[in-house]
Amino acid sequence: MPAGDSKRDDLPTAGIGFQTTHWTMVLTAREGKAAAEDALASLCSKYWYPIYAFIRRSGASPHEAEDLTQEFFYRILQRDWLANVHRDGGKFRSFLLVCVKNFLANERDKILAQRRGAGHAPLPLERDGAETRYVFEPADPITPDLLYERQWVFELLERTVEALREEYAHTNRLDWFEELRGFLPGGKETMSRAELAQKRGLTANAVDVAIHRLRHRFGAVLRQKVAETVSSEAEVDGEIRYLMSILST
């Protein structure tokens, strides 16, 4: 069947609605539920780099940032850090930023003195990759807060694209995804629609339909990823609008 056939491009969209997400589960972690604690660890493992970038931009050296990031997440993963988080706790993004600011203000010097070279390692941070990524951050005087939020958006977009890649790979169409992904928001087109149609032996309309469906699925998956980090369905659309506005600042 051709790559642009409607039946093969129509990826599943079930489960888009708001359900119990990682962050809503995290809000029950104070009760000692293992699932909630696992959910918190999962979220931290996904969004550690924005914290690393924030700490680096706040003046820490690469080695200091590694130690502080590890210690920060070690503290976060201890239940007592959630004592003052309420059921309407809002966004995981905002929660982490407030926590890391308080952590740096109160603990930085003491932690660096006590823990150099002998810290906990609660998360498998890609240490070499973290600094490699950081050196490519903009050289302009961007604030730590804005850098943190930009990196949060990039992590969301990267995880959304990866989820789509896995969906296409599951149906043995990874090559088709790689050719279409340049037409996603923020993507870089490697060929025009007409060139892609000619390469695939499709009509221009078939390529347009495939791009439309991929973009639609992209929006649905992005919504799912954002829903994992807020505490109610009412917050999802506003969070998406805010995060997309960050890219234009």
Q: What are phi and psi of 238, to 5 degrees?
A: -65, -40
Identify which has the larger pLDDT, 183 or 16: 183
pLDDT of residue 230: 87
Predicted confidence (pLDDT) per residue in 127-177, tens digit: 556 777 776 666 666 899 999 999 999 999 999 999 999 999 999 999 999
Instruction: Compute the radius of gyration of the chain from its Cα atoms.
Output: 21
User: Scanning the structure block, which residue is given the tokens 């995804």?
Assistant: 177
pLDDT of residue 5: 45
The mean pLDDT of 72-81, rounded to a whole number, is 74
Under the banding of pLDDT at 50, 70 and 90, the label for residue 82 is: low
Per-residue pLDDT, 66: 86
pLDDT given at position 115? 55
Residues in Cβ contact with 190 at an 8 Å cutoff, skipping those fewer than 6 apart: 179, 182
Mean pLDDT check: name the lowest of 38-52, 115-129, 214-228.
Answer: 115-129
What does pLDDT average to over the chain? 79
Q: Which of 50-64, 73-87, 203-217 has the lowest mean pLDDT?
A: 73-87
Flag whether pLDDT at 60 surpasses 80: yes
Q: Following DSSP, what letter does each residue of 192-208 receive, concatenated?
A: -HHHHHHHHT--HHHHH
Average of per-residue pLDDT across 44-56 = 89
For 24-49, give one letter per residue: b (16+ CB within 10 A) or e.
Answer: bbbbbbeeeeeebbebbbebbebbbb
pLDDT in tens, 84-125: 665 555 788 888 898 899 888 877 667 656 654 445 555 555
Asked whether the beta carbons of 91 and 230 are under 8 A apart, the reply is yes
- Residue 14's pLDDT is 37
Q: Whole-angstrom Cα distance, residue 53 to residue 62?
A: 10
**pLDDT over 70 percentage in the chain:** 70
Instruction: Give pTM, 2 decimals.
Output: 0.75
Query: What pLDDT score was predicted for residue 6?
Result: 41
pLDDT greater than 90 at residue 195: yes
Give the pLDDT band of residue 18 (cuts 50, 70, 90): very low
| Helix intervals (H) in 14-143 | 22-26, 34-46, 48-57, 62-76, 92-115, 127-134
